Structure 1
Amino acid sequence: MGTLRTLVLGDPVVALDRAATIEDGAVIVTGTTIEAVGSREELAARGPFDRVIGGPEHIVMPGLVNGHFHSELSVGPGHYQYVFEQANVHVHGGYGPALERDLYLIAQHSIAAMIRGGQTAAVDMYYGRPSLPRFGTEPVLQAYADSGFRVAFGLVARDQHIYAHESDECFLERLPPALAAEVRASPMGYAWPLDEVFATYDHLARTWDGYDGRIRTVLAPDWTPACSDELYLRCRRLADDYGTGITSHVLETRAEMHFSHDHYGMSAVERLHRLGVLGPDMVCAHFVWVTDEELRIFADSGAVASNNPGSNLRLSAGIARTRDIMASGGRVAFGTDGISFNDDEDMFAELRLASYLYRDPRDFEHVRADSATLLRAAGENGARAVRHDDRIGRLAPGLLADLLVLDRTRITAPAGRYDATPFLDVLVDRAQRHDLRTVMINGQVVMDDGVLTTIDEAALATELESALRSRVYRPDARTRRHQELGHLVSGVLPDIYRDPYARDVVGGTLFNARAVPGRAFAPDVTGG
């Protein structure tokens, strides 16, 4: 069987290349790559084709990249509502015992949701299961391999301040001795032995990195309070040795921001910069609490910030400074964190939320984000985040064929309403996962007219439900006790975090007020 040639039609084709859009356009895909992008009339004459997809009632655009994702979270919708410092003591007890097959099913469930939400690639920070060989990483990678999805996959590592933003011994001293001993022996803090973590990474890098041109393996130091300088430096050395990359939670919360200054005498970004960790191959997830002083360092580094707007709001983390990061020359991608705004991994909704939160009511001349700039950033920086720089994220000859085909009917209805509106504004403001019809990754159609082709969703749902009922959501006595420990220690958290969350900061923007300085409230008692 020869190499397949496919003609993909859209009006428009959102290329995000030299031309942002091509009216009545087309894309020729040959094998895994894009052969040509141009007008329908010109490209249709280059047939024959094995298949024609789309038409004048469709929109064609690059696949979207999820810059920050946790594949383990898709089977826990609605669960993650805590400020992260509070959630941290519960993460270890979220699920009961699981088999490798269970992890494969959970990963497939996550991948199916991402495909249906318009994603063709993701950065997956995977926490793993210490009871399983290589922390259960290989069944998850096998799920990515079987699904045809593109991923940069990292097993999380952490080695200090694993319970809270203070030394582990200080935290344990706050607890009654018997409870402290139980916590010490439990998986709370989810800090697996580093030698085992790095031995697993070595195996994954040698076995999986580069698989089918889709899978990359990256280092994943968890977040700045939980990673020592030595751990970050070890990750940097390995990333350089293997030519892979790094992803880490950076400046997700207000307390994390203060932690860096209190414990290291400098900001989190300056710390990473001085260590030599920050660089073009690094993704800084969330990146909410970056200051003006740090923006220059970050922009110069070439690193990518993943703004996860729905997750940031759900976890009370705050609003990422997308506007200011981009204005400084910094790189911004977008992610869902596995707990998207609507628990459906709809990347169109996340981009729309990001564009709304970008706005500053004090700037009348630039109320909204330029949609072409936003979409180009999502594509270009998303490509860098998954370690496929300049190979995906736009539609151009020679690039890999990761693309979406949407039905434009609902997006542009009612007829005539948006004729005078820039098309990309309409796309950003109105597209939803339900408009998506076909998804192509690496030249392979993984969703065909609304039906996934690489994942049997009906069989997956049946087997996954059995796994969840019989194991994952049926914890044994030991796991139930681990779950209880999170609640038993949570009473000491307010004393640790009350101060950093109460300290004044200079806000990036202002959307509400408690009072007007110098104005006393005088209720109208006249009735008039």
Structure 2
Amino acid sequence: MENTVLIKNATVLPFTRQANGSLNLEPQIADVLIEGDRIAQVAPAIESAPPSASVIDAANHLLIPGFVNAHAHSMEILEKGNHEASPLELWMLYTYPPLQSQHLDARLCYLRTLIGAMEMVKYGGTTIQDDLLELPYVTPEIFDAVAQAYVDVGMRVSLSLHTINQPLHHTVPYLSDFLPADVKQDLEAAQGLSDDAWVDLFRQVYQKWQGYRGLVTTVLAPSASQRVTPDLMHRIATLSEEYDVPIHTHLLETKTQAITGPELYGESVVAYAKRHGILTHRTAIAHGVWLSTQDIELIAEAGATVIHNVVSNHRLCSGIAPIRELMDAGVNIALGSDGMSSNDSFNLFDVIKAAGLVHSAMDTSYDRYPKAADILKWATYGGARSALLHNEIGAIAPGMKADLVLYDLNTLSFTPRYQLPIHLVYAENGSSIRKVFINGQLVVDQGRVLTVNEADIVAELQDRLPEYAVHRKQILQQAERIRPAVEKMLSTAVSQSLSIHRFSRPLHYVS
């Protein structure tokens, strides 16, 4: 029997797009009827609901669409609380070890994904783009385990098949000069999937998971234009067009990456990505901190998205992204948590508040600072657009998917009650959430996830952590072999002069 829910007397922020591109954030008292997985009706009073409908009295409650976490890595969930701030290139040695040769057990991957998904849905996130970067490569078993975890929670996921087919010292400048010969040899010998095998795997996961239970979509993820070969980029571009699926990538996250393009290719890594086919209207770019004016123009012309990972950008010493310039160029902007070893949380309220604060410290043009309405657009429509789901999620309107979050307005976060968008961005932290619906299903009620047993999952994961500790010890040993060379590379890279600046003051690395 089709699930039917009538939410009555809610204070609704529709989040529907208006002619000027902004969202309708005017509160209105309305009833919302959910039939199956979609919103069937929004009206001041709905009297025609079926007798079998579950009725929720939402007086003094706020109803908004669920947030979209547009960039995350579930692989990092077991690294939560394990890392102080450090530059990306050093941090990656301990989180994404380039010499890793052993896969984690698929069950452990399933459990860690559940932990992240449960946290996110409790705090009003209903869709995640999980960029599944598993080393040495993603296996079918791991992809299946991660996808199944999201389905079991009842969460919407755009799940990527991440790929790197270049050794580390081919992806950053200067590093090859500092690496010992034996380390370079081991990096060159590291085994990943062949291009043919990776393409075949994507076709398999697409056939198995695309549209599964109305929750799963699949994504192509070249790690970065400098981390994959031109041939593979062109093949990914062809697959994206064939299946009409997003391309999810990382571009210009750090100053080192801004140096990389001119040093290795004679052009920005953004221009390099365009030349090889992966900068299109289907492309979502994580970070984009060190974008130049020319890069922004290329992204705007392509109709691509930039995903702002403001907390992670700070934690990894990357700098402050040129958000106002992206806004001026008309680029779609989304928000992401990034992974839990550079953020430690999938609670998007942390990201939302940080995104609202940091850009007001950039210059004295206070009229150009992003407003609360801008931030909320990035957290909903912007993320949906980055996943090519903007016609399905991110607004409260008939025909849209029923991904909805109900907040209690009689809480400290909303007292006194003034402009609700400002309360959401600067005062709320998720503690006022009472119910979360995804695909029409009630997933969270009064702070409890209904679809899985949280206590059992946490207990099983705790039992498996000694196994992961052995894995971590191997990673640390591998990282220490490479760290001295990476420190020297960083010192060389950050000393280079660029015409753009993304730090509040120059950073210095001591090698």
1:172–1:376 distance in 2 versus 1, CA, 3 Å: closer
2:25 corresponds to 1:20: yes
Distance 1:44 1:513 in 2: 63
The answer for the alignment partner of 1:434 in structure 2 is 431
Distance 1:344 1:255 in 2: 26
The answer for the alignment partner of 1:524 in structure 2 is none
TM-score normalised over the length of structure 1: 0.87
Residues 311-330 of structure 1 mapped to structure 2, 5 A cutoff: 311-330=312-331
Please tell me whether the aligned partners of residues 360 and 509 of structure 1 are also in contact (alpha carbons under 8 angstroms): no
Distance 1:427 1:52 in 2: 26
Letter in 2 for 1:112: M
1:342–1:287 distance in 2 versus 1, CA, 3 Å: closer
1:435–1:171 distance in 2 versus 1, CA, 3 Å: same
Distance 1:199 1:214 in 2: 23
Distance 2:410 2:56 in 1: 16
Please tell me whether the aligned partners of residues 17 and 396 of structure 1 are also in contact (alpha carbons under 8 angstroms): no
Identity, % of aligned positions: 25
The Cα of 1:234 is off from its aligned counterpart by: 1.2
Distance 1:285 1:176 in 2: 32
Residues 58-69 of structure 1 mapped to structure 2, 5 A cutoff: 58-69=61-72
The answer for the alignment partner of 1:4 in structure 2 is 4
The answer for the alignment partner of 1:143 in structure 2 is 149
The Cα of 1:271 is off from its aligned counterpart by: 1.9
The answer for the alignment partner of 1:492 in structure 2 is 485
2:36 corresponds to 1:31: yes
Please tell me whether the aligned partners of residues 89 and 163 of structure 1 are also in contact (alpha carbons under 8 angstroms): no
Greater Rg by CA: 1
1:171–1:257 distance in 2 versus 1, CA, 3 Å: closer
Q: Which stretches in structure 2 are left out of the alignment for 5+ residues?
A: 19-23
The Cα of 1:95 is off from its aligned counterpart by: 11
Encode CA deviations 1:42-88: one digit per residue, 9 max, x unaligned.
Answer: 23675656223352332111111011010111121123433121123
Residues 329-340 of structure 1 mapped to structure 2, 5 A cutoff: 329-339=330-340
The answer for the alignment partner of 1:280 in structure 2 is 281
The Cα of 1:163 is off from its aligned counterpart by: 4.0
Encode CA deviations 1:9-41: one digit per residue, 9 max, x unaligned.
Answer: 4334354455423333332211111112233xx
The Cα of 1:140 is off from its aligned counterpart by: 0.9
The answer for the alignment partner of 1:200 in structure 2 is 201
Letter in 1 for 2:39: I
Letter in 1 for 2:54: R
2:77 corresponds to 1:74: yes
Q: Tell me which moved more, 306-315 or 206-215.
A: 206-215
Letter in 2 for 1:123: Q
1:132–1:382 distance in 2 versus 1, CA, 3 Å: closer
2:468 corresponds to 1:462: no
Residues 364-403 of structure 1 mapped to structure 2, 5 A cutoff: 364-366=365-367, 368-403=369-404
Q: Which stretches in structure 1 are left out of the alignment for 5+ residues?
A: 515-528
Please tell me whether the aligned partners of residues 36 and 396 of structure 1 are also in contact (alpha carbons under 8 angstroms): yes
Letter in 2 for 1:459: D
- Aligned mate of 2:123, from 117, 121, 126: 117
Residues 211-360 of structure 1 mapped to structure 2, 5 A cutoff: 211-339=212-340, 343-360=344-361
TM-score normalised over the length of structure 2: 0.89
The Cα of 1:208 is off from its aligned counterpart by: 0.8
1:509–1:262 distance in 2 versus 1, CA, 3 Å: closer
Distance 2:366 2:345 in 1: 34
- Aligned mate of 1:56, from 54, 59, 65: 59
Distance 2:415 2:39 in 1: 33
Letter in 1 for 2:25: A
The answer for the alignment partner of 1:451 in structure 2 is 448
The Cα of 1:342 is off from its aligned counterpart by: 5.8
Distance 2:486 2:345 in 1: 31
Letter in 1 for 2:93: V
Aligned length: 499
SS at match of 2:317: coil
The CA RMSD over aligned residues, in Å, is 2.8
Please tell me whether the aligned partners of residues 319 and 503 of structure 2 are also in contact (alpha carbons under 8 angstroms): no
Letter in 2 for 1:446: V
SS at match of 1:120: strand
SS at match of 1:24: strand
Encode CA deviations 1:359-414: one digit per residue, 9 max, x unaligned.
Answer: 25534441642222332233222112223132111111111111111122335554
Distance 1:147 1:119 in 2: 12
Encode CA deviations 1:177-196: one digit per residue, 9 max, x unaligned.
Answer: 44554555557xxx544333
2:39 corresponds to 1:43: no
Q: Tell me which moved more, 259-268 or 358-367.
A: 358-367
Please tell me whether the aligned partners of residues 218 and 245 of structure 1 are also in contact (alpha carbons under 8 angstroms): yes
1:272–1:129 distance in 2 versus 1, CA, 3 Å: closer
SS at match of 1:401: coil
Please tell me whether the aligned partners of residues 93 and 479 of structure 2 are also in contact (alpha carbons under 8 angstroms): yes
The answer for the alignment partner of 1:522 in structure 2 is none
Q: Tell me which moved more, 154-163 or 457-466.
A: 154-163
2:100 corresponds to 1:87: no
Letter in 2 for 1:57: N
The Cα of 1:154 is off from its aligned counterpart by: 1.1
Encode CA deviations 1:207-263: one digit per residue, 9 max, x unaligned.
Answer: 111212221111111113212221211111111122212101111111101111221
Distance 2:10 2:101 in 1: 44
Please tell me whether the aligned partners of residues 14 and 21 of structure 1 are also in contact (alpha carbons under 8 angstroms): yes
Encode CA deviations 1:86-122: one digit per residue, 9 max, x unaligned.
Answer: 1233322789863221111111111112112321111
Please tell me whether the aligned partners of residues 251 and 286 of structure 2 are also in contact (alpha carbons under 8 angstroms): yes
Encode CA deviations 1:109-154: one digit per residue, 9 max, x unaligned.
Answer: 1111211232111111112255985261111111122221111111
Please tell me whether the aligned partners of residues 129 and 136 of structure 1 are also in contact (alpha carbons under 8 angstroms): no
Please tell me whether the aligned partners of residues 68 and 127 of structure 2 are also in contact (alpha carbons under 8 angstroms): yes
Please tell me whether the aligned partners of residues 315 and 343 of structure 2 are also in contact (alpha carbons under 8 angstroms): no
1:288–1:133 distance in 2 versus 1, CA, 3 Å: closer
Please tell me whether the aligned partners of residues 209 and 217 of structure 2 are also in contact (alpha carbons under 8 angstroms): yes
